[in-house]
Amino acid sequence: MEVQRSVAATPRLSASWRRSEDYGIPLDAVNPAFSGGVDDGSLFYDCGQEVLRGLRDTLSNEPVSMMLTDAAGLVLSRVCDEKSLVSALDKTYLAPGFAFSEREAGTNGLGLALADRAPSLVRGEEHYCTGLWGYTCAAAPVMDPVHGRLLGSVNLTTWSDKSDGLLLALARTAAGHTSTLMLARSRGAEPRPTPKGEVFRVFSASRDAPPAPDLGETWGAALAEVVAALRAGRTVGVVGEAGVGKTALLAAALRLVRRDHRILNARPPDPRDAESWLALWTPELAKDRTSVIVGGADTLPLWAASELATIVTAARGASLAVTASDAGGIPRPLATLLDVVVELPPLRRRPDDVLPLAEHFGRAARGREVRFTPAAARALRTFAWPGNAEQLRRVVRDAVTRGDVVDAKHLAPEVLCGSSRTLTRIETLERDEIARVLAEPGITVTRAAKSLGMSRATIYRKITQYGIRPE
C-alpha cells in the first residue's frame, strides 16, 4: 500500500520514514507493543511527573496531552484534561504501557526525538502511519544530568488542525526542567560537562605517540584481540564504561597494525551540531591511509549514524573503528559494519594497571619522571575509580603540580575515601577536611580529632560514614 503525502520532507524526516519502512511498520495501522507495566519508582519519573503537573496548569484550557516516556519509547505517564483527545489517543494506543518508538509505531514525535536525541516536531501527514495523521506531536529528549545517558522524552500531543505554536518550545523547556530537577535532587552530584565543540583529533600512527605504559594481562588480552582483528581486515568496536580507555586501546592497536596511517579520532557532537560534524567526514575520508575512531557511537543521532555509515562505506582505503558504552547501544547502521566487538573492563577490575597509568599520566603532565610513595600507591590501588582512567588522569595531574614525589596527602580527598554514596556539598567539604588532616605524616586519629575540634567518637563515626581510609 502506497500513501500519497502532501508534505515536504526534511532530511531527518525522510531518514525516519526509510527506517520505518525497513522496520516493516504498516502504513495504515498503529500496533505498538504493550509492556503491561511501567517503572514509576525512578527519580526520572518523579521529576518528570512534577514538571508535567506544573505544565498542566499552564495548558489547562488547551487540548494537549502531556506524556513522559522512557528511552525505549514506552509511555510511562499521560496527563490530559480533554476527554475527546484522551479517548482518541486510547484508540491509537498512545497511552501508558505502550511503546511508541520508531521501531514500534513508525515516524512520530517522541520516536524521532529518541532516535535522533534532538527535539522533534511531527505534524499530521509527516507521521508514517495514517492512523496518526490526526495529531501533531512535539517531543524533546531528557538526558541524565550527571552521566549523560538518554533517559526518555517529554511528549506533547494535540490535534493536527490546531496550531502547534509553542508546542516544541514547551516540550524542550519541560525536558530541560526535568533534567535540572533531577540534578537538584541528586545530593550534590556535579552535572556532566557539555561538548566543548572539539570535533577531530588527528595524529600519526608512527609519530606523536608517547611511550605506552606497560599494563597488565587484562589490557594486554584486549589489545591482542583488537590487533588480531585489524590484521585480519575486520572492523572493530570497543565497548566499556566512560573513561575506561577505549579510544586509547584502539589507537594503540592501530599504531601497531597501520603504521603509515593517519588516525582520525572523532568525538561525538552535540546532537544540534551533527549536521556540520558530518560535513567534515567526506573530505577527510577521501584521503589515503586514514583510520577513523568514532567515539561515543551510542550517543549519535540515528540519522547521523546512518549518514556516517553511508559515507564510510563509500570511502576507499579508510578503516572504521567505534567506541560505545555497550554493544546494544551502537546504532544499527554502524553496528552492521562491525565484525568484532571487544569489551574493555573498568579500571576497578584492573588494579595492576593503576600505578603504571598513574606514572604515565604524571610523566605526561610533569614532563619528567614522577614517583609515588608507598602510601600514595596504596591509596591509588585500593580506590574504586568510578570515573576510570579519566578520573585517575585528573587526580594525578592535580597531584603532580606539587612536585616530582607524590604522597597520599597530595591526592584528592575522594581517593582517600571509599564512600559510594553521593554527598551533599556540606558533607563533601567535611569529608575532604577530615581526609586532608588524616593524610598528614605521623597523624593519629586522636590528634586529628583534636585538630578538627571533634571528639574521638565523632571522628570515628565520620570515618565510617564517609568511608575514609586512614593511613
pLDDT above 70 coverage of the chain, percent: 89
- pLDDT per position as a tens digit, 78-94: 999 899 999 999 999 99
The cell for 104 is 514500534
Strand 262-266 with 290-294, pairing: parallel
Q: Does domain 11-184 have CATH number 2.60.40.420?
A: no
The set of residues, in sequence order, having a beta carbon less than 8 Å from that of 269 and lying 6+ positions away, is 195, 199, 276, 277
Predicted model pTM: 0.70
* pLDDT tens readout for residues 341-373: 999 999 988 888 999 999 999 998 888 899 999
Report, as an integer, the average pLDDT of 39-48.
Answer: 88
Nearest to 119 by CA among 161, 171, 182, 68: 171
Answer yes or no: is pLDDT of 200 > 60: no
Residue 415, judged by CB atoms within 10 A of its CB (0-12, 13-18, 19+), counts as buried
DSSP state of 150: E
pLDDT surpasses 90 at 381: no
pLDDT of residue 414: 77
Q: How many residues are listed for the chain in this entry?
A: 471
CATH 1.10.8.60 matches 352-466? yes
Which residues contact residue 270 at a Cβ distance below 8 angstroms, ignoring those fewer than 6 apart?
194, 195
Comparing CA positions, the residue from 266, 329, 302 lying closest to residue 118 is 302
d(CA 213, CA 355): 10
The answer to whether 213 and 357 are in contact (CB under 8 A) is yes
- 352-466: same fold as 11-184? no
Give the lowest-confidence range in 220-229, 235-244, 301-310: 301-310
CB 170 within 8 A of CB 154: no
**Fold of the 200-345 domain:** Rossmann fold (3.40.50)
pLDDT above 90 (res 147): no
What mean pLDDT value characterizes the chain? Answer: 84
Look at residue 423 and tell me whether its pLDDT is greater than 70.
no
Task: Give pLDDT, residue 210.
Answer: 57
Residues paired with residue 98 on neighbouring β-strands, in sequence order: 34
- Amino acid identity for residue 75 in this structure: V
Q: How confident is the model at residue 95 (pLDDT cuts 50, 70, 90)?
A: very high
pLDDT of residue 197: 42
Give the least confident one: 129-138, 184-193, 301-310.
184-193
At residue 141, what is the residue type?
Answer: P
Could you identify the residue written with the cell 505502550? 98
CA atoms in the 13 A half-sphere facing the CB of 385? 30
Q: What is the mean pLDDT of residues 314-321?
A: 77
pLDDT of residue 236: 95
In the chain, what are the helix, strand and coil shares in percent, each to the nearest 5?
A: 45, 15, 40
What is 83-145 written as a DSSP string? HHHHHHHHHTT-STTBB-SHHHHSS-HHHHHHHHTS-EEEEGGGSSSGGGTTEEEEEEEEE-T
Cα within 13 Å of Cα(383), Cβ side? 27
**The pLDDT of residue 196:** 46
Boundaries of every domain in the chain: 11-184, 200-345, 352-466
Q: How far, CA to CA in Å, does 27 sit from each of 90, 91, 294?
A: 19, 16, 35
The residue ranking higher by pLDDT, 266 or 1, is: 266
* Residues paired with residue 320 on neighbouring β-strands, in sequence order: 292
The three cell numbers locating residue 383: 580506590
Output the CA–CA distances (angstroms, integers) from residue 211 to 140, 279, 412, in the order listed. Answer: 45, 34, 26
Span 237-282, pLDDT tens digits: 999 998 899 999 999 999 899 887 888 888 888 777 888 788 776 6
